[in-house]
């Protein structure tokens, strides 16, 4: 029975878009691999990849519930000439250049932006006149990294505090500096705020932080727009009684700086969508801080701060934060293991050279390219296997020569695909091979 399987493997689970959507000079690369497994030799007629991106918005009150917009639809030929492949696993690596004008992946309740790779392989067994077609698809997630000039790394504002009763002895006004330590937040991570007073207040009555999310959905065909507004109150990371004691004891402390940490909800507690720049599905966020306190002269004050903020996915956290450094030295066992593991074992090298065959051809599409890969082959003379030992079975004890032959027998890897083509019917298969790059 002729068995075949087709898989699409991504080199990176998430493809990052670097730069502003209007930046046309930055190049983003989608790296992937087509893996084809054959149980018998077969002739591959063609291999094509299709990259599709669509944006959909939901309108329940309309006759047509969905408004669909195609963002990208590109067909990339990987192999167009017939190629005879032997039994085994074959890999077709490729790269696709992505423009910054593409929107990032979005998943909202009333709309989404999704991308996928669709692979089609036209195959015909060498012993059968009938052909077949293999299809496989794989979703692709695009994530836009924050631009260096889009938002600062922190948010800072300065407020002037003027007392209600004008005192002639007072020559300078008090100031309050509010600092949000990060302008990019991730769901499930803490958000730290810092309040710095030029003169400590008498009491601090209330501190609240809200995350405002606004979703804007647009349907071009219907010429309508829908806006959803959500306000999420952030809770302090400390228990309520501990947080209240911190506010009460702050005026009596010697420090003039108050630092509060709030928790951003994650997907399990409350859904917070990441910020997007798609014109059809636009998601933006603001942070709203309210602080009520009383000055030393008894004047009540209320400070309201509103500033834009960006919500990122968990996968972008490594790009905006420093890694955690381990102060402990690595153990000798780990260093020894890592040095030994770099030496390839004979069995692994042999299986790698004999089970993988890669075909390459330069496609005609301007935004894609095939990456040639050379197969790693280990000569048989360089393979040092274990010392053969005679078998101890009862049958070998009766026939000592059989035991000696079994001990000296080594596993010989099957010939490579290039050697088979070169030695057997080279002139016949020359027309099926792809032209050299």
- Note whether 94 and 133 are within 8 A (CB): no
HSE, CB side, 13 Å, CA atoms: give it for residue 197.
23
pTM surpassing 0.85? no
pLDDT value at position 383? 37
Looking at residue 9, its pLDDT comes to 94
Return the pLDDT at 118. Answer: 96
**Residues 421-430 pLDDT 10s:** 566 544 444 4
Dihedral sign for Cα 335, 339, 340, 345, please: positive
Domain boundaries, the chain: 4-146+353-358, 155-163+173-311, 389-432
Q: Given the structure tokens 């769901």, which residue do they identify?
A: 187
Residue 223 vs residue 46, higher pLDDT? 46
Distance CA 140, CA 117 (A): 7
* Per-residue confidence band for 416, with pLDDT thresholds at 50, 70 and 90: low
Task: Looking at mean pLDDT, say which of 55-59, 170-174, 332-336, 415-419 comes out highest.
Answer: 55-59
Give residue 166's pLDDT. Answer: 57
pLDDT band at 161 (very low <50, low <70, confident <90, very high): confident
Architecture of the domain defined by 4-146+353-358: Sandwich (2.60)
What mean pLDDT do residues 187-212 have? 89
Average pLDDT, the chain: 74
For residues 67 and 2, the model is more confident at: 67
Q: Average pLDDT for residues 359-368, to the nearest whole number? A: 39
CB 262 within 8 Å of CB 187 = no
The predicted pLDDT at position 420 comes to: 52
Spatial distance between the Cα atoms of 321 and 303, rounded to a whole number of angstroms: 30
Any alpha helices (H) in 263-365, and if so which ranges?
A: 317-320, 332-341, 346-355
Asked if residue 341 has pLDDT above 70, the reply is: no
The gap between the terminal CA atoms of the chain, to the nearest Å, is 36
Q: For position 388, what pLDDT does the model report? A: 47
Percent of the chain whose predicted confidence (pLDDT) is above 70: 65
Q: Quick one: pLDDT at residue 414?
A: 54
User: Does 170 score more than 50 pLDDT?
Assistant: yes
pLDDT on residue 167: 54
Lowest-confidence region among 86-95, 255-264, 365-374:
365-374
Q: How far apart are CA 310 and CA 151, in angstroms?
A: 8
Superfamily of domain 155-163+173-311 in CATH is: Macroglobulin (MG2) domain (2.60.40.1930)
pLDDT of residue 49: 95
Q: Quote the pLDDT of residue 2.
A: 64
* Distances in whole angstroms, Cα of residue 350 to Cα of each of 90, 320, 406: 16, 42, 20
If we measure between CA atoms, which residue out of 119, 136, 140 comes closest to residue 53? Answer: 140
The per-residue pLDDT for range 51-78, each reduced to its tens digit, is: 999 998 887 776 667 778 899 999 999 9
Calculate what percentage of the chain has a pLDDT beyond 90: 24
The predicted structure's pLDDT at residue 115: 96
Instruction: pLDDT band for 346, please (50, 70, 90 cuts).
Output: very low
Domains 4-146+353-358 and 155-163+173-311 in one fold = yes
Q: For the residues 314-334, what does the mean pLDDT come to?
A: 54
């Amino acid at each position: 029975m002729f068995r075949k399987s087709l898989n699409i493997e991504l080199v990176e689970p998430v493809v990052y878009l670097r730069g502003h959507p209007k930046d046309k000079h930055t190049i983003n690369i989608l790296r992937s691999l087509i893996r084809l497994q054959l149980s018998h030799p077969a002739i591959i007629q063609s291999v094509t990849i299709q990259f599709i991106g669509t944006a959909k918005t939901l309108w329940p009150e309309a006759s047509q519930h969905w408004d669909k917009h195609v963002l990208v639809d590109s067909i990339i030929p990987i192999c167009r000439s017939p190629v005879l492949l032997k039994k085994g696993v074959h890999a077709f690596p490729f790269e696709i250049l992505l423009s910054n004008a593409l929107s990032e992946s979005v998943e909202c309740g009333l709309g989404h932006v999704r991308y996928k790779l669709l692979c089609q392989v036209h195959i015909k067994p060498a012993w059968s006149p009938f052909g077949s077609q293999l299809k496989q698809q794989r979703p692709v997630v695009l994530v836009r990294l924050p631009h260096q000039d889009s938002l600062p790394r922190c948010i800072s504002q300065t407020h002037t505090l003027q007392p209600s009763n004008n005192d002639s002895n007072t020559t300078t006004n008090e100031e309050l500096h509010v600092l949000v330590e990060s302008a990019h937040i991730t769901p499930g991570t803490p958000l730290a705020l810092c309040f710095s007073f030029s003169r400590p207040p008498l009491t601090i009555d209330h501190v609240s932080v809200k995350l405002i999310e606004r979703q804007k959905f647009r349907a071009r065909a219907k010429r309508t727009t829908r806006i959803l507004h959500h306000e999420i109150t952030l809770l302090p990371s400390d228990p309520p009684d501990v947080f209240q004691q911190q506010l009460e004891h702050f005026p009596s402390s010697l420090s003039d700086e108050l630092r509060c940490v709030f928790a951003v909800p994650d997907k399990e507690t409350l859904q917070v969508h990441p910020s997007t720049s798609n014109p059809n599905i636009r998601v933006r966020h603001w942070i709203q801080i309210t602080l009520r306190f009383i000055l030393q002269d008894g004047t009540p004050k209320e400070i309201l701060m509103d500033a834009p903020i960006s919500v990122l996915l968990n996968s972008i956290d490594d790009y905006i934060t420093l890694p955690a450094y381990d102060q402990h030295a690595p153990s000798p066992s780990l260093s020894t293991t890592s040095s030994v593991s770099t030496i390839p074992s004979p069995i692994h090298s042999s299986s790698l050279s004999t089970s993988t065959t890669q075909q390459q051809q330069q496609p005609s599409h301007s935004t894609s390219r095939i990456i040639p890969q050379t197969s790693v082959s280990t000569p048989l003379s360089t393979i040092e296997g274990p010392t053969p030992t005679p078998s101890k079975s009862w049958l070998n004890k009766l026939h000592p020569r059989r035991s000696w032959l079994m001990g000296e027998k080594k596993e010989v890897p099957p010939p490579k695909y290039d050697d088979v083509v070169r030695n057997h019917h080279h002139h016949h298969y020359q027309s099926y091979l792809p032209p050299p790059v």
